[in-house]
Amino acid sequence: MTREDIIKLPKVELHCHLDGSLSREFVEKRLGRQVGKEELSVSDDCTSLAEYLEKFDLPGQCLRDEEGLEEAGYDVLRSMKQENVIYSEIRFAPPSFRDR
Ligand SMILES: [Zn+2]
């Protein structure tokens, strides 16, 4: 089975966080600057939940207004379509996106 075969298989995403599923392109567009991969994801040897959760801060900054939320929804659904996700439960915690 090839990678392409796997991508074509229908999938179900039962636990997905909106802020943790945004594309780097979306975050860059919303922030108006380039974003390094290390700003959005931890290294493979990360063992700290606090460090992991810090990576949600930047995407969260993109979700503080109606336009950001609407575009985020489309961004995530676009990515899911590319992987043939046919059902998804996307979680969203509005209080966590307020200015800090
Ligand atoms: Zn969760």
The structural domains of the chain, with segments of one domain joined by +, span: 3-97
Distance 18 CA to ligand 1 centre (A): 10
Per-residue pLDDT tens for 33-62?
999 999 999 999 999 999 999 999 999 999
**What rounded mean pLDDT belongs to the chain?**
92
Question: How far away, in angstroms, is 15 Cα from ligand 1 center?
Answer: 6
Contacts of residue 87, defined as CB under 8 A and 6 or more positions apart, other chains included, come to 12, 13
Q: How confident is the model at residue 95 (pLDDT cuts 50, 70, 90)?
A: confident
Please tell me the pTM assigned to this model. Answer: 0.85
**16 CA to centre of ligand 1 in angstroms:** 7
Q: What is the DSSP letter of 33?
A: S
State yes or no: pLDDT of 99 exceeds 70. no
